[in-house]
A and B are shown apart, each in its own frame.
Chain A
Amino acid sequence: MDILDIFLSASFWAATIRIACPLIFATLGELICERAGVLNLGIEGIMTAGAMAGWMWVYQGGDLIGGIVFAAFIGALFGLLHAQFTVILGVSQHVTGIGITMLASSLSYFVFNMLLPNTTTPPKVVPFQTIDAGPLANLPFVGEVFFQHTFFTYLAFALVPMVIYILYKTPLGLALRTAGENPSSLESQGISVFVIRTIAVMFGSSLMAVGGAYLTISAFDAFYFGMINGRGWICIALVIFASWQPGKALLGALLFAGLDAMQVRMQLQLGTFIPYQVFLMLPYLLSIAAMVIVARKAKYPKALLQPFRRGERN
């Protein structure tokens, strides 16, 4: 089997779609925050919190959809906290984000340990099951690639046009983009920058948390320590790679997931010649490479990282 065989196997393409999902959620979440002018470095922790919250909801007997909603709610809470610091008070977005990541992940682990003391192997839940697509699922190749996925997977892909619509076709989206370009423009049109940015950060954070929950109640069935494993940081790189555009973010996530799926398959073949760590490094190396490719012409939202203080005299 060589690289061509990988491309010809339906399971590779199906895996690509699955691996892309958490990245899509979290990348869109980060993108929304940044389009409104707020860098959210809490992403890694918020994904952890979402993964734990969604899983715990289901483990405690809640239904799966409830798990998504609960994860989103927890994410929004951390988003609110982040917004209080970076939007209302206008303190350093970098430090706040790192603080939120530390807080959200340690709180998740703490809660997990509190509710499930003395567990050695992580307990499992029944995750989302493949949606029965009827005869479509049996189509050769296409069936396996596109029609044997869970509800959660389709949700991720449905989210992209939704976010595009909101950002570019609604007054709210216009206000959100303006908040990231020139907040005083927003303020002079009678809209509160604080409100818009807070909404954006809360919504974005809830998407990040949902991305985390995808891992524990759709892709896998358990929560374990360190499971986000830098995915959040990768998503920040993806946002830059996508030049802050949701459509390109989807492409980036798919491209990235494809390379990740390929990496796993190549590991099986080449594992004896090349140490497995090299393959595990690939996602991180690729993220750096992706940023290098676009960095020179990156069009940052102009007000990214700039706090807005009303009525401050400069």
Chain B
Amino acid sequence: MQFEAREHTPVAFLLIVPLVAVLCSMLLASLLIIWAGQSPLQGFALIFKGAFGSSFAITETLAKTTPLIFTGLAAAVAFKAKFWNIGGEGQLYCGALAVTWLGTGIVDLPPILMIPFLILVGMIAGATILMLPVFLKNQLKVDEVVTTLLLNFIILLFVGYCLEGPLKDPMSMGWPQAAPIIDSGIFPTLIERSRLHLGLIFALLAAVIIWAIFRFTLWGFEIRAQGLNATASHHAGINSNWTIFKVALLSGGLAGLAGVSEVAGLKGYLTLDISPGYGYTGIAVAMLANLHPIGVVFSALFLASIFVGADFMGRSIGVPNFIADIMVASSVLCILIGLLLCKYRIRFNSSRLKQVIS
């Protein structure tokens, strides 16, 4: 088996590859649904129905898409520069913690100022916590994969402490949860009587901005060069520490925004379970989109619909909803193969095959 680099990738490939990856993951899911004694067709129909079957379902799916766009963008930006930020989950909680701290009464501004203020605060918080791994990587050559991962656990414990101690809502009757965000800081809902909120608009806006950064700016060019060949870009005068610092600001900020949007948009107050692993799923979102910012929007929508739909299927026919995570994971693995095929043509050794046959 040999790999031959392609001179150009057919455009169709870039669209087909994610679809094929999704189909492969559905195939695996079918096997599991059959094991659970149900028909895969019915299963997928239920997933679809759960995600898009009613206007309520659609708003739920979109509400779940919102944080995934943020964390997906956070991962995409970082991975473009080959900065392996796996700490989206922790940064999300940092953003959430910061808005809880400043958004529950300490600062009170009119909504037109309060909402941007909270967004800024959340982004700063998410970015700040990422500065530790960046510092350790740039100054001491400590691998960022492990530090960002371990920080997730530390931050979650810290949030747990805050919710049981200093930030605990006295009205919560013993539950570890924080006081609600004041009214002027709450994101308005987009559709009456739904949980869909302004955060989605911000998320879409963020995707477009990130896309524009990569497409049109020198900075985006530097990030891409750094990610594709760090030696050459260093030699060409791109300051890698500085690039990584900027990438981390952006990536941490976006992940922090996911926390803002969940607290100030969806839930209204901070609990320990505002994120069922959005930070980690963001990595899948980014990979499925081949790190393309606009693609992130679609892959976030897709994964959100899987999660919402699988919940619905679980309630209807008793297939454990972990099947959603399985589909996410397997589509990430499948997309890796697909992207490889975009770059290389795999040639099987015909002469060797002939030998084996004869």
Which chain A residues have a beta carbon within 8 Å of chain B's beta carbons?
41, 81, 85, 88-92, 94-96, 98-100, 102-103, 105-107, 109-110, 113-114, 117, 229-230, 233-234, 236-237, 240, 275, 277-278, 280-281, 284-285, 287-288, 291-292, 295-296, 298, 309-312
Contacts and interface: CB of A to CB of B under 8 A. Distances in A.
Interface in B138-168: 140-143, 145-147, 149-154, 157-158, 160-161, 164-165
Nearest to A86: B336
Nearest to A279: B157
Interface in B283-315: 283-284, 287
Nearest to B160: A277
B206 interface: no
B322 A110 contact: yes
A277 B158 contact: yes
B151 to A, nearest CB: 8
Interface stretch (B45-53, B121-129, B260-268, B323-331): B323-331
Given A95-B332, A98-B86, A229-B153, A292 B32 contact: no
A21 to B, nearest CB: 21
A117 B150 contact: no
A110 B318 contact: no
Contacts of A311: 2
A113 B339 CA distance: 33
Interface residues of B, number: 48
Contact of A114 (B35, B143, B287): B35
Contacts of A292: 136, 140, 142
Contacts of A298: 141
B170 interface: no
B254 to A, nearest CB: 18
Given A85-B337, A99-B330, A233-B146, 16 more contacts: A88-B1, A90-B340, A91-B336, A92-B336, A98-B283, A103-B326, A103-B333, A107-B326, A114-B36, A275-B165, A277-B161, A288-B142, A291-B143, A292-B142, A295-B140, A298-B141
Given A277-B157, A280-B157, A312-B3, A98 B337 contact: no
26 contacts: A92-B336, A94-B84, A96-B333, A96-B336, A98-B280, A99-B333, A99-B336, A102-B325, A103-B326, A103-B330, A103-B333, A105-B325, A106-B328, A106-B329, A114-B35, A117-B320, A233-B146, A275-B161, A284-B153, A287-B146, A288-B136, A288-B142, A288-B147, A296-B141, A298-B141, A312-B2
Point out which of A229, A230, A278, A310 has the most chain B C-beta atoms below 10 A from its C-beta.
Answer: A230
B337 A237 contact: no
A281 B157 contact: yes
Point out which of B35, B161, B322 has the most chain A C-beta atoms below 10 A from its C-beta.
Answer: B322
Contacts of A88: 1
Nearest to A92: B336
Task: Identify the 5 closest CB pairs spanning chains A and B, nearest first.
Answer: A106-B325, A102-B329, A103-B329, A113-B320, A110-B322
A240 B5 CA distance: 34
A277 B141 CA distance: 29
Contact of B145 (A85, A94, A96, A312): A94
Contact of A110 (B146, B154, B161, B323): B323
B272 to A, nearest CB: 11
Point out which of B318, B323, B333, B336 has the most chain A C-beta atoms below 10 A from its C-beta.
Answer: B333
Contacts of B318: 117
Nearest to B32: A110
A7 B332 CA distance: 47
A25 to B, nearest CB: 19
B149 A91 contact: no
Contacts of A96: 333, 336
Nearest to A39: B145
Contacts of B280: 98, 102
Contacts of A105: 325
B305 to A, nearest CB: 17
B140 A296 contact: yes
A106 B154 CA distance: 23
A109 B322 contact: yes
B146 A98 contact: no
